[in-house]
Chains A and B, each alone.
Chain A
Amino acid sequence: MRPRLTKAILMIPVLLYTAFSAGPYVWTAMMSLRTTDEIYRSHYGLPIPPHFWKFYTAWTEFGYATYFKNSAIVTVSAVALITVVGAMAGYGFARRRFAFRLREPLFLLLFLSIMFPPQIMILSLFQILITYGLFNTLAGLILVYVATELPVTIYLLRAFFAQIPVELEEAARIDGCTDWSMFWRVMFPIARPAVATTMILNFIYFWNEFLYAVVFITQQEIRTLPLAIQFLVSDQYFDIGMLATGLMIATLPVLLMYLFMSEWFVKGMTAGAVKG
Chain B
Amino acid sequence: MPIDRANSARLVAPPRAGRPWGSIVLFLGPALCFYFAFIIYPVLVTFYNSLHTLRMDLGMVYQYVGLQHFREILLEDEVFWKSARNAMTWAVVAPCLDIPLALILAFTLHSKIPFARFFRTVWFTPLLMSYPVVGVIWLWVYNYDWGMANLTLRFLGFGDYAQAWLASPTTALPALILVTTWMFAGFNMVVMLAAIHAIPMEYIEAARVDGAGPWHRLFHIMIPLLRPTIANLIILDVIGKMKQFALVWVMTRGGPMWGTETVATYVIKRAFEWKTLDLGYPSAIAVLWFVIIFGLSIGLTRFLQRREALEF
Would B182 and A147 count as touching, CB distance under 8 A? no
Residue of A nearest to B23 (CB): A179
What is A's interface to B at a CB cutoff of 8 Å?
Answer: 6-7, 10-11, 13-14, 17-18, 20-25, 27-28, 43-44, 85-86, 88-89, 91-93, 96-100, 103, 106, 109-110, 112-113, 115-128, 143-144, 146-148, 150-151, 154, 166-167, 170, 179-180, 183, 204, 207-211, 214-215, 225-227, 229-230, 233, 240, 243, 247, 250-251, 254-255, 258, 262, 265-266, 269-270, 272-274, 276
Show 23 A/B contacts (Cβ-Cβ < 8 Å), sorted by A: A14-B113, A21-B182, A24-B140, A27-B148, A85-B31, A89-B31, A91-B27, A98-B27, A118-B264, A121-B39, A124-B46, A127-B279, A128-B38, A146-B38, A147-B35, A147-B37, A207-B130, A226-B133, A230-B135, A233-B135, A247-B133, A250-B133, A274-B229
- Give the contacting residue for A120; candidates B30, B46, B229, B279; CB below 8 A: B46
CA distance in complex: A116, B240 (Å): 10
Would B41 and A247 count as touching, CB distance under 8 A? no
Would A88 and B27 count as touching, CB distance under 8 A? yes
CA distance in complex: A159, B297 (Å): 22
In whole Å, how far is A248's beta carbon from the nearest beta carbon of chain B?
9
Which DSSP category, helix, strand, loop or mixed, fits chain A's interface? helix
Would A11 and B131 count as touching, CB distance under 8 A? no
Would B268 and A215 count as touching, CB distance under 8 A? yes
Would A215 and B272 count as touching, CB distance under 8 A? yes
CA distance in complex: A106, B29 (Å): 12
A residues in contact with B46, CB < 8 Å: 120-121, 123-124
Would A270 and B126 count as touching, CB distance under 8 A? no
User: Known contacts A124-B43, A125-B38, A214-B268; can you find 10 more A-B pairs with CB under 8 A?
Assistant: A18-B123, A116-B290, A125-B42, A183-B27, A208-B131, A233-B250, A247-B136, A270-B187, A272-B236, A273-B191
A residues in contact with B12, CB < 8 Å: 96
Would B43 and A270 count as touching, CB distance under 8 A? no
Would A17 and B105 count as touching, CB distance under 8 A? yes
Q: Is B286 an interface residue (CB 8 A)?
A: yes
| B140, B187, B263, B293 — most chain A CB neighbours (10 Å) | B140
Would A123 and B31 count as touching, CB distance under 8 A? no
A residues in contact with B268, CB < 8 Å: 119, 122, 211, 214-215
B residues in contact with A262, CB < 8 Å: 121, 124
CA distance in complex: A225, B129 (Å): 11
The 9 lowest CB-CB distance pairs between A and B, nearest first, are A147-B38, A92-B27, A89-B31, A208-B130, A124-B45, A179-B23, A121-B42, A119-B286, A124-B42
B residues in contact with A143, CB < 8 Å: 34, 38
Interface residues of B toward A: which range?
A: 35 or more
In whole Å, how far is B95's beta carbon from the nearest beta carbon of chain A?
13
CA distance in complex: A86, B236 (Å): 23
Contacts A98-B19, A98-B24, A119-B290 given; does A113 touch B39 at CB 8 Å: yes
B residues in contact with A23, CB < 8 Å: 148
Would A124 and B283 count as touching, CB distance under 8 A? yes
CA distance in complex: A21, B101 (Å): 12
Would A150 and B35 count as touching, CB distance under 8 A? yes
Would A229 and B194 count as touching, CB distance under 8 A? no
**Per-residue CB proximity of B256-289 to A under 8 Å, as 1/0?**
0000000110011001100000010011011101
B residues in contact with A210, CB < 8 Å: 130-132, 245-246, 249-250
In whole Å, how far is B287's beta carbon from the nearest beta carbon of chain A?
7
In whole Å, how far is A139's beta carbon from the nearest beta carbon of chain B?
13
